[in-house]
Structure 1
Amino acid sequence: MDNDTPPPPSLPATARLPINRCNLPAVILGSLTFQDHPAPLELDGVRALHGDLWRHLDGLEEPAVRIHDFMAYMRGHFCLDDPAACGLAEGETGGRERADYLRTLRGWWFNPDGREAAVLKGWVESRFGLITRFHREPLPDAESLAYGRFMQERAGGVYNTNALESQLDLLYSYTQYELRRRAPERTHLTLYRGVNRLADHEVLARLPGGQALVLLNNVNAFSAVRERADEFGDYILTVKVPTAKVCCFQDLLPGVLQGEGEHLVIGGVYRVKVSLM
């Protein structure tokens, strides 16, 4: 690199926590370097705690069968069909005893600034150490009133649920398992996101060729189908997303994620290609 060329922007200190619950710190997994040279991400304890599930899935060749058995495992392990078995009295908690990973995903796609979205953004903060940058409004820092409102909604979303964030841990780990099983050599996916104005995002640097370095929110919706992204804005962000940063995707749980080729992606600093529809 030329001595006069500044190093590529890393993840700003205001966008990360000093600790997280996975094998890489936020300053690394949220950086541009990680986009270019990704590594597997492992949430603390999940693989060891659910070893019987992974061994069972290893013996299944059909993705549809693995999906069926994964969802059955989730129902059994977290007592999703029997809240009373976990000490949750049905009807006494305003329906929160029925909140689970599936309802959280559906809630996100219905409203990416709603209560379920706050839960997902808070989960990413806790597990990956990437601070939420936007929830209904910009969240400039952890001392702001806007961030306090976000935290209140996040807390309300996990209150009186059956280990909802642990359900999301297992969902992420299963997503990564399936991505490796289906395409072991793949490290990136080319995904698309429609936006009305690039200025609405945190642009760290402009690059030649219509590219930019952008700090994305800590979790985002992308599509594998460019024409689908066209529906959401006048500009298209084309991004090479590390598979390690995919939380869930439409084909993983058919009928849960809406649209076409939808992916839920962990944020951080990304190099993006900006183009008109």
Structure 2
Amino acid sequence: MADSPLELIQHIAPGEPTLPAYARLPVNHCNYPAIILGSLTFQRYPEAIFLDNVATFHQTLFNRLDKIEAPADRAMAFETYMQASFLLSAPEEAGYQQTERASGAVNAVRQNNKKARHKADYRRLLRGWLFDSDSREAAVMKGWVESRFGLLARNHKGPLRDFESEIYFNYTQERSAGLYNTNSLESQLDLLYSYCQYELHQRFPDRRHYKLYRATNRLDEYDTLFQGSKTRSAVILNNLTSFSSSLEQCDSFGDTLLQCQVPFSKILFFPDLLPGAFRCESEYIVLGGLYQVSKISI
């Protein structure tokens, strides 16, 4: 049985830092508050995270997956379910209405942009993130993490420290634009995360962590809450962050390499989750918060 939030708090060592209030929200939509999810304690003693109502509304999917042995066949069943559940191939049946043709060149451009948005789905969000973690799709995903897990975005095309800054305004604008006229994108991400967690449990039932790597050229932009030694420290990562399982590939993306034990329950996407869908041999998309990391050299 999973530890309660109170039991997890009791694991915290005296004087150990917790996720600061400026990096989290007081409410979220899962079974642990952000102060727990974003803590070093949760990194060390991870438990399963359940998003509100996913099991209630989509138990049929997981019952079906239980009967399928091959991961590739489960992935196919998942994608078929997503198509049917969110009517991804029939947006009109999901409530999308094509408005009358607008007059004038400017209105025509706006109309075309509006039409394109109904085609956005979880695959396009992932593709957008994998191409650019500062894209509009990435803004939607970071906003989803804020809503579901209560972990505030720390960076999007620049540091998000001041809620009245132009950078923060542009982030919220991109997030809103990315959700406008779409078909339950955040609910699609809910199910993607839950399916990812199901797959990790099926494939690695006895494991709780993955050793992953991240390269950065801007280590000074991370909030460092304590420096344990010259090579170990606790830093606040962005609320959604890319890691790699390949140290060699990671080495080409920055001058500082970080090694981290990432809890399975904080992984949104891993390379073989949807076989053949994306060209990302080693990239993992991970929920952020406070992490103990180690600097390494090759």
TM-score range, shorter chain: over 0.9
Q: Structure 1: where are the runs of 5+ without partners?
A: none
**Helix, strand or coil for the counterpart of 1:179?**
helix
Identity %: 50
**Alignment match, 1:125:** 146
Residue from 17, 27, 39 that aligns with 1:9: 17
Note if contact 2:75-2:275 (Cα within 8 Å) is conserved in structure 1.
Answer: no
- Bigger radius of gyration: 2
Q: Which moved more, 1:172-181 or 1:79-88?
A: 79-88
**Alpha-carbon distance between aligned partners in 1 of 2:41 and 2:162, rounded to the nearest angstrom:** 24
TM-score scaled to structure 1, two decimals?
A: 0.95
**Alignment match, 1:273:** 294
**Helix, strand or coil for the counterpart of 2:118?**
helix
**Helix, strand or coil for the counterpart of 1:52?**
helix
**Alignment match, 1:255:** 276
**Alignment match, 1:86:** 94
Note closer, same or farther for the CA distance 1:204–1:257 as it changes in structure 2 (3 Å cut): farther
**Alignment match, 2:240:** 219
**Alignment match, 1:176:** 197
Q: Structure 2: where are the runs of 5+ without partners?
A: 1-12, 99-110
Q: Does 1:166 align with 2:187?
A: yes
Length, aligned pairs only:
273
**Alignment match, 1:25:** 33
**Alpha-carbon distance between aligned partners in 2 of 1:179 and 1:99, rounded to the nearest angstrom:** 26
Q: Does 1:210 align with 2:218?
A: no
Residue from 116, 121, 129 that aligns with 1:95: 116
TM-score scaled to structure 2, two decimals?
A: 0.88
Q: Does 1:137 align with 2:145?
A: no
Note if contact 2:23-2:154 (Cα within 8 Å) is conserved in structure 1.
Answer: yes
Note if contact 1:250-1:256 (Cα within 8 Å) is conserved in structure 2.
Answer: no
Counterpart residue type for residue 165 of structure 2: S
Note if contact 1:89-1:97 (Cα within 8 Å) is conserved in structure 2.
Answer: no
Q: Which moved more, 1:240-249 or 1:146-155?
A: 146-155
CA deviation digits over 1:8-64, x for unaligned, max 9?
210010000000000000000001110011111000000111011111100111111
**Alignment match, 1:44:** 52
**Helix, strand or coil for the counterpart of 1:272?**
strand
Q: CA RMSD in A?
A: 1.5
**Alpha-carbon distance between aligned partners in 2 of 1:231 and 1:254, rounded to the nearest angstrom:** 25
Q: Which moved more, 1:164-173 or 1:87-96?
A: 87-96
Cα shift at 1:260: 2.1
Q: Which moved more, 1:14-23 or 1:224-233?
A: 224-233
CA deviation digits over 1:178-219, x for unaligned, max 9?
000111111000000111242132222111251111100000
Structure 1 residues 109-120: aligned runs within 5 Å: 109-120=130-141
**Helix, strand or coil for the counterpart of 1:123?**
helix
Residue from 66, 70, 77 that aligns with 1:69: 77
**Alpha-carbon distance between aligned partners in 2 of 1:255 and 1:173, rounded to the nearest angstrom:** 20
**Alpha-carbon distance between aligned partners in 1 of 2:59 and 2:79, rounded to the nearest angstrom:** 16
Note if contact 1:121-1:132 (Cα within 8 Å) is conserved in structure 2.
Answer: yes
**Alpha-carbon distance between aligned partners in 1 of 2:253 and 2:27, rounded to the nearest angstrom:** 34
